[in-house]
Amino acid sequence: MQQAASAKAPMHLWIVGILSLIWNCIGGYDYVMTRTHNMAYLGSTGGDPNAILAYIDKMSLPAAIGWGLGVWGALLGSVLLLMRSRFAVHAFAASLLGAVVSFGAQYLGPPSPMHDGPAKYMPLIIIALAIAQLWYAMRETKTGVLR
């Protein structure tokens, strides 16, 4: 058992973990810039910053809580993955739940000014990557890489 615990992490863990961390840091950056009403950042998204802020400020409570849970759960999951902790599974599961709740609540609410053109597919990409991260963490837990 001691040998398995001290075994070297496979290269794919570092590749997936670092890519996951970069992707989820982008999500964290977006969350912080949006929540702090950074007009320069919001203007760089291609949409009307005032319309985006109005939409965010009127976001339903489930959508807002889901968004935070999705973003910060994913970032925590990435860190735990790199630390080879089995608790990455729990963090990624919370992240997926948060994304589904947030996007579901947004879908049922007023149309978003941020989802025009190709950006309208971003929620699907985010959910697909959340599922992939959860699956990977579960697989690596079953194989004993995460402990």
Instruction: Tell me the per-residue pLDDT of 91-107, one tens digit each, with 9 for 90 and over.
Output: 999 999 999 999 999 88
Kindly state whether residue 36 falls inside one of the protein's structural domains: yes
In a domain, 1, yes or no: no
Mean pLDDT, to the nearest integer, of 37-44?
92
In 3D space, the residue among 5, 131, 21 whose CA is nearest the CA of residue 82 turns out to be 21
The answer to whether residue 10 is domain-embedded is no
Q: Which residues, including other chains, have CB under 8 Å from residue 49's CB and lie 6 or more apart?
A: 39, 42, 43
Look up the pTM and report it.
0.91
Tally of domains in the chain: 1
CB-based contacts of 108, cutoff 8 Å, min separation 6: none
Does 1 have pLDDT greater than 50? no
Instruction: Kindly state the tokens that stand for 94.
Output: 């919370």
Please enumerate in sequence order all residues whose Cβ is within 8 A of that of 37, keeping only pairs 6 or more positions apart, or say none: 53
Q: What is the per-residue pLDDT across 118-142, written as a single tens digit (0 to 9) for each?
A: 778 899 999 999 999 999 999 999 9
Any domain includes 109: yes
Instruction: Give me the pLDDT at residue 112, please.
Output: 81
Domain coverage including residue 125: 16-142
The answer to whether residues 146 and 134 touch, using CB atoms and an 8 Å cutoff, is: no
In a domain, 8, yes or no: no
CA quadruple 28, 117, 50, 101: dihedral sign: negative
Q: How far apart are CA 113 and CA 115, in angstroms?
A: 6
Q: 113 in a domain, yes or no?
A: yes
